[in-house]
Amino acid sequence: MISLTPLQTLQNVEFRNLLTGRFFIVLAFRMLATLLGWWVYQLTKDPFSIGLIGLSEVIPAVSCALYAGHVIDMNEKKKLLLICNYAYVFLIGLLLIPAFFNSEMHLTGHQVTYFIYGVIFFTGIARAFIGPIVPSMIPKIVKKDNLPNAVTLNQATFLTSSVCGHAAGGFLIGSFGVQWTLVFIILLIIIASLFFWQLNKQYSENKNDSVGVIESMREGVTYIFKTKEILGALCLDMFAVLFGGAVAMIPVYATDILKVGAEGFGLLNAASDIGSMCIITILSIIPLRKNQGKILLGVVAGFGLCIIGFGLSHLYWLSFMFLVLSGMLDGISVVIRGTIVQLKTPDHIRGRVLSVNSIFIMSSNEMGQFESGLMAKILGVVRSVVFGGSMTVLIALLVGSTNPKLRKMQY
């Protein structure tokens, strides 16, 4: 059977609706992340407070992830996706209270910050479910031969919306303020739900409904630890991004080091995603044919070197270019990792495996944000970023030397 090209895969209307809905919801999430980092730093002027945003979300998200995977595998996925979608509408709507009525309520900056942390804690629970649902639906919508193309397009959609979200977030904050940016974010999530309503229902394929929750969750974890290619790719992602999370310090760089304001902050926040989007566009036309495991290890090490360069730079254009290049390298690794996980995972356990995958992703991103804030407090901002990049290079070398199956992986 001849597989379609990535662009031909978009002829599938249901797949197109799934990607369009994901575009709008990720656009909203990235705008929200940009807004929260900027808002909290303006309220506190403390880099560590930015790190606590990530910690507020990752604790409930990781805690609920294994159970979320069980629920996804045992229930109809479209319904769960819509429930999570509207949960976000409600929770982000709560942020409108301090945004619009702060002066009337006479709240201090720290009180508003604590309220934000509380809301983000509950979005972390919703994220534990919504994160794995979309990728778990893809193999039921496209044929297996076209799965690598679908993964590439899914990542291209994610990165395109990330770029637009980061850049638009900074622009809207600078032009209309936090309040109306939040309103726009809520509208985007509602628009996403309109496309999700067009999807077909996807029911559970598990034949044994009598399996207990604990046993079901254990099955997903055991499968990952037995499959060394998946385990290696996920560990590489978690530890590399955990230490290479320099983007968490971009509000500090934009405000205090590069002095470029809200608009410059938005572009810096989008820089790595711009690079990722460019490289994934290329991969959509010229996919990787061989040696994907070795390429994965090489691009992660290169990503770490770019983070070191960003940390040491005091020139806006040079900092921007380092982040763009880091995004290009990360984009390659994202496509390879995503394809490995999808191709190596059976349908009946896909939700649980992708939930464990989400634990690794959330641990790396949000804990990376916390780690960056903590290390910035201990070492200073510049030294913390350089330290993180150095650790990323070390992790790539360590994983490459200890996991020959990942190193030799091809698909």
Whichever domain contains 329, its CATH number is: 1.20.1250.20
| Furthest CA-CA distance within the chain | 66
Average pLDDT of the chain?
Answer: 83
Instruction: Give me the sign of the Cα torsion angle 64, 69, 155, 181.
Output: negative
pLDDT of residue 118: 93
State the residue range of the domain holding 120: 6-197+212-407
The proportion of the chain whose per-residue pLDDT surpasses 90, expressed as a percent, equals: 21
Interatomic CA distance for residues 145 and 249, integer angstroms: 41
Q: What is the pLDDT of residues 153-168, one digit of tens each?
A: 887 788 778 778 877 8
pLDDT of residue 411: 65
**Residue 55 included in any domain:** yes
**Residue 122 included in any domain:** yes
pLDDT of residue 365: 62
Q: Which of 37-41, 266-270, 370-374 has the lowest mean pLDDT?
A: 370-374
Q: Does the pLDDT of residue 238 top 70, yes or no?
A: yes
Count the neighbouring beta carbons within 10 Å of the beta carbon of residue 274: 22
- pLDDT category of residue 1 using cuts at 50, 70 and 90: very low
How many domains does the chain contain in total? 1
- pLDDT category of residue 6 using cuts at 50, 70 and 90: low
Average pLDDT over residues 183-204: 92
Dihedral pair phi/psi, residue 204, rounded to 5°: -65, 145
From residue 292, alpha-carbon distances to 74, 339, 340, 408 in Å are 33, 10, 9, 8
**CA 107 centroid distance within chain:** 32
**End-to-end CA gap in the chain:** 16
Dihedral pair phi/psi, residue 217, rounded to 5°: -65, -40
Q: Looking at this protein, which amino acid is placed at residue 204?
A: S
Q: What is the pLDDT of residues 372-390, one digit of tens each?
A: 777 877 888 888 888 888 9
- pLDDT category of residue 322 using cuts at 50, 70 and 90: very high
Q: What is the pLDDT of residues 69-126, one digit of tens each?
A: 888 888 889 999 999 999 999 999 999 998 888 777 777 777 888 999 999 999 989 9
**CA 205 centroid distance within chain:** 27
> CB–CB of 197/83 below 8 Å?
no
Q: Which residue has the higher pLDDT, 187 or 258?
A: 187
Q: Looking at this protein, which amino acid is placed at residue 200?
A: N
**Residue 380 included in any domain:** yes
Q: Which residues touch 331 (CB under 8 Å, ≥6 apart)?
A: 155, 159, 275, 276, 277, 278, 279, 280, 283
User: Exposed/middle/buried for 400, CB within 10 Å: 0-12, 13-18, 19+?
Assistant: buried
Q: What is the pLDDT of residues 291-315, one digit of tens each?
A: 888 899 999 999 999 999 998 888 9
**Residue 139 included in any domain:** yes
**Residue 206 included in any domain:** no
**Residue 224 included in any domain:** yes
Q: Does the pLDDT of residue 276 top 60, yes or no?
A: yes
**CA 305 centroid distance within chain:** 21
**Residue 207 included in any domain:** no
**Residue 192 included in any domain:** yes
